[in-house]
Chains A and B, each alone.
Chain A
Amino acid sequence: MSALLDHLPEVWQGLVVTLQMTAASFAGAAVAGLVIVAMRVGPVPVLRAVATVYVETLQNLPLLVLLVLAVFGLPEIGLKAGLTTTAVVVIALYEGAYIAEALRSGVNAVSAGQGEAARALGLTFGQSLRHVVLPQALRTVVQPIGNIFIALTMNTSLAAAVGVVELTAAANRVNLLEARPIPVFVGAGLAYAAIAACAGFVTGRLERRLAVAR
């Protein structure tokens, strides 16, 4: 355990980067997911097609491939951004596809009559989605979105492979100095588990609080 404690500042710094990446990419993924699902269930055929292609493409490629492609490929076409920023954007877009799919299953679970009633009252498609359908859809997919949040947290560790010094990379560096893999990586693993446990706690509370009588 002393291997870890001796390097607490570096590991702590890695954990902070992981938390920042998780928060930023989840926020981005939520926005991307909302936009994509609105396009996908909307009435405009072109937007539906674009959203479908987006989801199918991103879900069918490994995140690591996307990260490597973005980090090494984008500068070649003149798009330069910080390493962490690039990783956050890629993770956000990737997880956004999953959030869009979770939301879409939620939208499908809302009875068609809800949207019909909203439209019959004169709400536009966007208004009925925003005020009637999505609020109800969200309530049914709190748990799946919590799972996506946890997966996203774990996926930030892939950024280590393209040079971002987050928790996994920081732990790896400590291990290179101390050669004590078990305490070092068990420590890092516990930190990830703690984040996941918090997410589970929050989704559980949210689910109970948002429960709607049907």
Chain B
Amino acid sequence: MIRARGLNKWFGDHHVLHDVDLDVARGEVVVVIGPSGSGKSTLCRCLNRLEPADSGEILVDGVPVPEEGRALARLRADVGMVFQNFNLFQHKTVLENVMLAPMKVRGVSRAEAERTAHELLARVGIAEQAGKQPARLSGGQQQRAAIARALAMRPKVMLFDEPTSALDPEMVGEVLDVMTGLAADGMTMVVVTHEMGFARRAADRVVFMDGGRIVETGEPNAFFDSPRTDRARDFLAKVLTH
């Protein structure tokens, strides 16, 4: 579904992505973990070209990601994205947030967009919040609304860029539950996260990044129980002890 080859990205002199290759099969859930500054968020943002890579190639569903313009917009319509800070449209209600893109990008009628939006909001458990402005919702509710908004486009793959990092601890669970449900339904997902429990439970494969490189990748139980590299062992020792 996603095939990235030789991605390189610099921010000024800082080499953030270093020859990164990544393959995500249809229906696969890939969880990307690693220390802060390891390039995992940048990798995620490169996949739909919110951050253009300086070199390398990305194919989504066999199609090279276009450089810009309408072709790029069409591709992004098929790639859902969930952000750390939710980024719900502040001037629209939750319902309108979910309806906007299907109507403007897919040309869906208002009535149908509204019906789908209500269904999706019910699916993520916030049906009763539909008429509210995003700022009136809790962080967990906002992030679930953002997931519903992305799902409304019926994406082929979903990217999650640290979806629970901005949440109060008590709200992390409700968002992870929605994501676990999606994974169980067969959605292709790339999840950048610090939630090791989620990685172990929901991932088909864990990708460990450090210093802009993919250091280790493997099936979650094998990775968490017996990491092969010293760097991964060191990282897990730090995050799993408390």
Contacts and interface: CB of A to CB of B under 8 A. Distances in A.
A214 interface: yes
Contacts, number: 79
A116 B76 CA distance: 11
A116 B153 contact: no
B48 A132 contact: no
Contacts of B87: 111, 113-114, 116-117
B90 A119 contact: no
A136 B101 CA distance: 17
Interface in B44-90: 48, 50, 68-70, 73-81, 83, 85, 87-90
Given A135-B91, A213-B135, A121 B153 contact: yes
Most B CB within 10 A of own CB, among A43, A111, A132: A132
B74 A43 contact: no
A177 to B, nearest CB: 54
B14 interface: no
B90 A122 contact: no
Interface of B: 48, 50, 68-70, 73-81, 83, 85, 87-91, 100-101, 104-105, 133-136, 146, 149-150, 153
A123 interface: yes
Contact of A124 (B48, B73, B134): B73
A122 B105 contact: yes
Given A122-B73, A122-B74, A122-B76, A117 B89 contact: yes
A57 interface: no
A127 interface: yes
Return the 5 tightest CB-CB contacts between A and B, nearest first. A122-B77, A117-B87, A213-B135, A121-B101, A113-B87
Nearest to B135: A213
Interface of A: 43, 111, 113-114, 116-124, 127, 131-132, 135-136, 139, 212-214
A212 B91 CA distance: 6
A212 B76 contact: no
Contact of A114 (B68, B74, B76, B90): B90
B133 A127 contact: no
Most chain A Cβ neighbours within 10 Å, of B68, B77, B89: B89
Nearest to B78: A122
B105 A136 contact: no
26 contacts: A43-B68, A114-B87, A116-B50, A117-B81, A118-B101, A120-B79, A120-B83, A121-B101, A121-B105, A122-B73, A122-B75, A122-B76, A122-B78, A122-B101, A123-B100, A123-B101, A123-B104, A124-B73, A127-B105, A131-B100, A131-B104, A136-B91, A139-B91, A213-B133, A213-B135, A214-B135
B50 A214 contact: no
A189 to B, nearest CB: 39
A128 to B, nearest CB: 9
Contacts of A114: 87, 89-90
Given A117-B83, A127-B105, A136-B90, 10 more contacts: A113-B85, A116-B87, A118-B101, A120-B48, A120-B83, A121-B153, A122-B105, A123-B73, A127-B104, A213-B134
